[in-house]
């Protein structure tokens, strides 16, 4: 389940378009994650909601809005890296 989560999240983050509803696709897999990973996912979901609630106007992108999106993307990237490390550790134990 963790591998599916990581692959799906990697595809979403690596695509040319990132829509907030794409996070719903990986939400069911959060139940199989560690508390740290779940917290990172919830935080990135909050940042996504916060951005689209208050700064959705891309044409007049303000610095605060771009920092919110940057923070969200860094959190999602760190979530992917942490999940890959956990997968590799589990594979090396076997």
pLDDT in tens, 64-77: 788 888 999 999 99
Between CA 77 and CA 82 the distance in angstroms is 9
| Residue ranges of domains in the chain | 2-93
User: Which one, of 90, 87, 93, lies nearest residue 37 by Cα?
Assistant: 87
pLDDT tens for each residue of 27-80? 899 999 999 999 999 999 999 888 887 766 655 667 778 888 899 999 999 999
Whole-model pTM: value is 0.84
- In this structure, are residues 33 and 5 in contact, taking their beta carbons and an 8 Å threshold? yes
Query: How does DSSP classify residue 21?
Result: T
Helix axes 63-93, 35-54, angle to 10 degrees: 160
How many Cβ atoms from other residues are within 10 Å of residue 77's Cβ? Answer: 15
CB distance 93 to 16 below 8 Å: no
């Amino acid at each position: 389940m963790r591998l599916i989560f990581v692959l799906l999240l990697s595809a979403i983050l690596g695509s040319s378009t990132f829509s907030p509803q794409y996070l719903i696709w990986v939400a069911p897999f959060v139940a199989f994650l560690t508390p740290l990973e779940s917290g990172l996912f919830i935080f990135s979901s909050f940042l996504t909601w916060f951005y689209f609630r208050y700064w959705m106007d891309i044409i007049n992108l303000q610095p605060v809005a771009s920092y919110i999106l940057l923070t969200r993307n860094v959190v999602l990237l760190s979530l992917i890296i942490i999940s890959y490390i956990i997968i590799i550790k589990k594979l090396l134990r076997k």
